[in-house]
Amino acid sequence: MLRWVRQQLGFDPPHQSDTRTIYIANRFPQHGHYVPQKFADNRIISSKYTVWNFVPKNLFEQFRRVANFYFLIIFLVQLMIDTPTSPITSGLPLFFVITVTAIKQGYEDWLRHKADNEVNGAPVYVVRSGGLVKTRSKNIRVGDIVRVAKDETFPVDLVLLSSDRVDGSCHVTTASLDGETNLKTHVAVPETAVLQSVANLDKLVAVIECQQPEADLYRFVGRITISQQTEEIVRPLGPESLLLRGARLKNTKEIFGVAVYTGMETKMALNYKSKSQKRSAVEKSMNSFLIIYLIILLFEAILSTILKYAWQAEEKWDEPWYNGKTEHERNSSKILRFISDFLAFLVLYNFIIPISLYVTVEMQKFLGSFFIGWDLDLYHEETNQRAQVNTSDLNEELGQVEYVFTDKTGTLTENEMQFRECSINGIKYQEVNGKLTPEGFSEDSPDGNRHSLMKEEELFLKAVCLCHTVQINADQTDGADGPWHANGIAAPLEYYASSPDEKALVEAASRVGVVFTGTSGDSMEIKSLGKPERYKLLHVLEFDPNRRRMSVIVESPSGEKLLFTKGAESSILPRSKSGEIDKTRIHVDEFALKGLRTLCVAYRRFTPEEYQEVGKRLHEARTALQQREERLADVFNFIERDLELLGATGVEDKLQEKVQETIEALRLAGIKVWVLTGDKHETAVSVSLSCGHFHRTMNILELVQHKSDSTCAEQLRQLAKRIKEDHVIQHGLVVDGTSLSLALREHEKLFMDVCKNCSAVLCCRMAPLQKAKVVRLLKTSPEKPITLAIGDGANDVSMIQEAHVGIGIMGKEGRQAVRNSDYAIARFKFLSKLLFVHGHFYYIRIATLVQYFFYKNVCFITPQFLYQFFCLFSQQTLYDSVYLTLYNICFTSLPVLIYSLFEQHVHPHVLQSKPVLYRDISKNAHLGFKPFLYWTILGFFHAFVFFYGSYLLMGEDTSLLGNGQMFGNWTFGTLVFTVMVITVTMKMALETHFWTWINHFVTWGSIVFYFIFSLFYGGIIWPFLHTQDMYFVFVQLLSSGSAWFAIILIVVACLFLDVVKKVLYRHLQPTSTEKAQMEEDKGSVSSACDFAESRHRGEDNRQLLDPASPPGGASLH
């Protein structure tokens, strides 16, 4: 029990060793001293709460919020001491806010529980006691042999033992894990692959040793020891043997596997991403404002307490004849009395802190986020994908972006590769009519003639056809000679690949005569000019981002052992010792200048002795349990050397539509765009120029190919000097990965100075973590700019998570970027609408919402403070406690919520066509100190007008009621409250530009509701109320004509100055947004006139119109 508690608190991790030992079918050793390892059960738990801990855990989380905790303290103070207002006044709003939030979070968690129960209760088949037993998914234990049938999802992480195929292979799709829809092949070790029946598997005696669970989907290190008669066979296990929970079995009838990781230790569960913990700038501003208002509150309470005691220093005020003190009061401690009075004033003024602000902001964010998903302009018809919101906490941050970091492939480009050119043995070739034609050589032969390939060309194409991870659609490989149509013509094979480059190259090779026809067992089959050839696949040296290449070792039909390698030119050319290296390097650079993606292809022949050494080293590295990756990397480097260069390929990746216009719009909006890509320097620069990231007129500075710290620093200093001296308006900077890591190591500040003076920066040859480092560098710079990262692949995830706002593109490189992003869109061009329209609106709405909330609470509480000067600081409340409670909950809450959901201060088309308007809201312009000060002063001004206006008009003459009755303090307080409700509601109406029927309904409805409620509340004797100070007060107030006159006069006096200020500023110092609003108004008027005029205008006259001057407003639509 103690150990379990320690584990839960994180002091005693359950896995003490680095590896786990799994006995297949749980056949543990029979000797007595063996202690089985403890493993997690197979339940998936994505929920946050249980029935038992929901209330305490949820309350704890909610009271961590400053405002909630503050109101709890106030509520407790009201319960403990004699305060002027009822504890209900703070208790009810607090209870309302806590309850609403708890219901929302409880409902969300209930849905998670429901989903978990569905998954955990799914039926599965397990081999036990010599037969198949049906059980629930949650009952699977580590070591169980599980059977999975075609199209079923794997219930645990399994090591593949056998399949219905003789070679023990199976096909799997991991779309739900990483979004890759291509089929991946997994293979069992030969010794277990033959065990295809339950009876045979039940006799298997084997032990698996593997690493402890980790989140990396593509990494698995283990080995299996199989006991056969007297010998023990050891085989390596890698990612190709591991079937992940959540993946689906395809094109395979059934498989058997042994459970190695279960429940929350499966790779899928370890990859669960908790909700984004990013906080927006608005939330930070809100907390700063709360602290300022807390200081105002404390100041008012302390001042009131001091003034009370200063007043009571005079004998006649200390104990007037009508209010004598008791003996207990005379003898009590003065310090305790002072503290008690201070707390009483604190309670009286506590409503200056708006508790309902948080709940309104949450509702605004949650409901407002639906508009992005509903926006048809962000819907991509071809792929049937709409925009997706993964977190609603950052909506307004979309309006504050200063830097955009974008990936290139799949984000700016389509990630649809087309083979364009290749270089073989120093000669450039192009594909013409399905034939490989040397550059400058025109092919006039008719299509029917088969083009014969030279030896070098054939070897190059064979290398392309053998060195890849491409799969063929299984339905097409059933026939012995490949697929055929009824008329005897071969159907083109349908290839699947995780890399679009590989697919494009294999398809191109098949068009020019060397066709990859599939794999069977450990053989790869190709047809070279119609002649079938079979190569035995001996080893695959998988691609990794550090090596930047992949290789296969095959045995040719003649028995030769060959290594085929392809990869980036920077990783192949230095390892090549023969072939046309210099010519190929020139060709690769030429391809890159055209914006093509380049790969180099090379090969190596092994002598029998060399191959024996290679096989031995590979086996040792692959069966190592410790440092397997490092050992494999060393062996791969040993194998991939002394290469003979065959040539290079150039594949084009088409730009997405409207990329150029989007980048230009971002630049006009004052947003700096950085492109971070893994491509080589020349390719990246070429694409940057074609997509408008770099302009032809731009002065392009380079910081590339630096190997030492000193040269990098010197170059940086020269660039900084050039920027100062050159009078070019715009500079662009190109940095590569190696130079960047040098620059970030010692010369961060100098590098940042250079970058900030460049209007466009391009970083090429970037590793995924370097992308995140660059984002973090800018994010934490002294200016603290708001950053946005956008990408489509798994290599962009770290950058997306690092930036303030992360956007995933629903592209062809899987769904990992989308899963880890805050927002997801289908195309890069949608970014402009997302920022300039949605971001702009969200920011304006929430900025007004936050400041309006503080304004209306200043209006609410300041009259309470002023009233104390007229009641000897006796803590008498000005308003009835029911009004205190309902002011923020009912009377003034809806107009601002509806405003914050629907407000459009400028037409969306205008915002999108004039990106420069985005600059008006940048750097948190509407939530800075100046606007905050304006709203606060306005609140105090209005409060003074309410109080002293009512006092001057009504307070002196107390017999102004229609029936000659006295005008009491409750009537006075109600008059102030009535004026206040009308004024703050009308103030919201003045701020609203975009009126819908909902706005009209809640604005006028709130005022009407206040009047109806007050008539009912004061007009009836309610039996459950302890006292009813307000009985008939409101009815009598409204029966007085002078009261109506006072209400109208005070409301007009308050808002008149506000209107005058708006008009003057709008005409004398208009912002770009206000100019756009005025143009929009004129445009709508002039387009109406144009429409009327055009009905009377003849066709001939229409042709005479000057196309350069469209009618007013046309440019806005």
**pLDDT single digits (tens) 139-153:** 999 999 999 998 888
**pLDDT single digits (tens) 575-610:** 898 888 899 999 988 888 887 888 999 999 989 898
Q: What token pair was written down for 413?
A: 């480009």
pLDDT of 276: 47
The dihedral region occupied by 935, where left means phi > 0, alpha psi between -120 and 50, and beta the remainder, is alpha
817 close to 370: Cβ distance less than 8 angstroms = no
Look at residues 272, 251, 249, 270 and name the one whose alpha carbon lies nearest to residue 124. Answer: 249
Tokens 């920022």 map to which residue?
Answer: 835
pLDDT of 423: 92
**pLDDT single digits (tens) 891-940:** 888 999 999 999 988 888 988 888 998 888 888 888 888 889 999 999 99
User: Of 157, 178, 407, 736, which one is the catalytic site residue?
Assistant: 407
Look at residues 584, 409, 577 and name the one whose alpha carbon lies nearest to residue 499. Answer: 409
Q: How big is the CA angle at 1038 (ends 1032 and 1040), to the nearest 5 degrees?
A: 110
Q: Can 1058 be counted among the known catalytic residues?
A: no
Look at residues 677, 816, 686, 687 and name the one whose alpha carbon lies nearest to residue 740. Answer: 677
Mean pLDDT of 429-438: 83
CA-based radius of gyration for the chain: 37
Bridge partner list, 170: 186
Split at pLDDT 50, 70, 90, the class of 441 is low
**pLDDT single digits (tens) 86-112:** 777 778 778 888 888 888 788 878 877
Task: Share the mean pLDDT of the chain.
Answer: 81
pLDDT of 564: 92
Provide the edge-to-edge strand list for the sheet that holds 231-237: 19-23, 206-211, 222-228, 231-237
pLDDT of 100: 80
In whole angstroms, give the CA distance from residue 370 to residue 389. 8
Per residue, the 3-state secondary structure of 92-110, as one string, reads: HHHHHHHHHHHHHHHHHHH
**pLDDT single digits (tens) 251-269:** 788 999 999 999 888 887 7
pLDDT of 44: 81
**pLDDT single digits (tens) 332-390:** 677 888 888 888 888 888 888 877 787 788 888 888 888 998 989 889 888 888 888 87
Segment (H or E) for 601: strand 596-606
pLDDT of 181: 57
pLDDT of 272: 60
Tokens 């080893």 map to which residue?
Answer: 539
330 close to 866: Cβ distance less than 8 angstroms = no
Q: How big is the CA angle at 469 (ends 464 and 470), to the nearest 5 degrees?
A: 80
Beta strands in 199-307 (DSSP E): 206-211, 222-228, 231-237, 242-243, 248-250, 254-261
**For residue 540, is pLDDT > 80?**
yes
pLDDT of 963: 57
pLDDT of 243: 92
The dihedral region occupied by 765, where left means phi > 0, alpha psi between -120 and 50, and beta the remainder, is left
pLDDT of 565: 93
Mean pLDDT of 1033-1051: 80
**pLDDT single digits (tens) 234-250:** 888 888 899 988 888 88
In whole angstroms, give the CA distance from residue 302 to residue 861. 15
Mean pLDDT of 265-286: 71
pLDDT of 267: 83
pLDDT of 481: 44
pTM: 0.73
547-573 in b/e form (b: 16+ CB < 10 A) is bbbbbbbbbeeeeebbbbbbbbbbbbb
Mean pLDDT of 734-751: 83
**pLDDT single digits (tens) 501-525:** 788 889 888 888 888 888 776 788 8
DSSP 25: G
Mean pLDDT of 439-446: 58
